[in-house]
Amino acid sequence: MTLQIRPGELADVPLIADLIRGLARYEKLEHEVVMTEEKLTDTLFGERRYAETLIAESDGNPVGFALFFHNYSTFLAQPGIYLEDLFVVPNQRGHGIGRALLERLAQTAVDQGCGRLEWAVLDWNKDAIRFYEGLGAKPNSEWTVYRLAGESLRALAGE
C-alpha cells in the first residue's frame, strides 16, 4: 500500500462531499447534513477560504480526509488548528491512515507556529477515543462545548 496525503483541491469537491456524507453516516448524523457541493466550493475554494482539507489516497484511491481551520489562543498568543473532521473509509481503518493524516496536520501546526491542535470527539466513539489517547492527546473535560445554530442563532442576531 502506497499512502499519499495531499491538500484538497477544487476538483476534489465531489469527493470531499462524499467523505463528509460517509462521516455523517458513521456518526449517525446523516439527517443533519445540509451541505452541498456548491457551498463547499464557495467556502473551501472561494474568495474567502474558511477551512482546508487533506486527502488521503492509498494506491491512488481516496481513503480518508481531514478538514481543519485556524483558530487563536489568547492565552498562548498563538494560532492553533481545529480539526473539524477526520474520516477514514470503513474498509481502510486500522492501516495507519488516520494517524498519517494527524501526523501531517501536526506537522502543519508546527510549521505554522501553532500552539495547539484540538478537536472534539463523540462520547460514544470509544475506538476514536482510544486512538487519540494512544497518540498522546488528552481530553479537555473541564470545558463544555456550547452551540448556537439555526433558529437560536438567528434569534440572537435579532432576525
Instruction: Catalogue the active-site residues.
Output: 132
Using only C-alpha atoms, the chain has a radius of gyration, in whole angstroms, of: 16
The whole-angstrom separation of Cα 22 and Cα 64 is 10
For the chain, the straight-line distance linking the first and the last C-alpha, in angstroms and rounded, comes to 53
Give the DSSP letter of residue 96: S
Q: Is 86 exposed, middle or buried (0-12, 13-18, 19+ CB in 10 A)?
A: buried
C-alpha cell at 108: 502543519
Check if the beta carbon of residue 125 is closer than 8 Å to that of residue 115.
no
- Cα–Cα distance between 52 and 59 in angstroms, integer? 23
* Distance in angstroms (rounded) separating the CA atoms of residues 78 and 71: 9
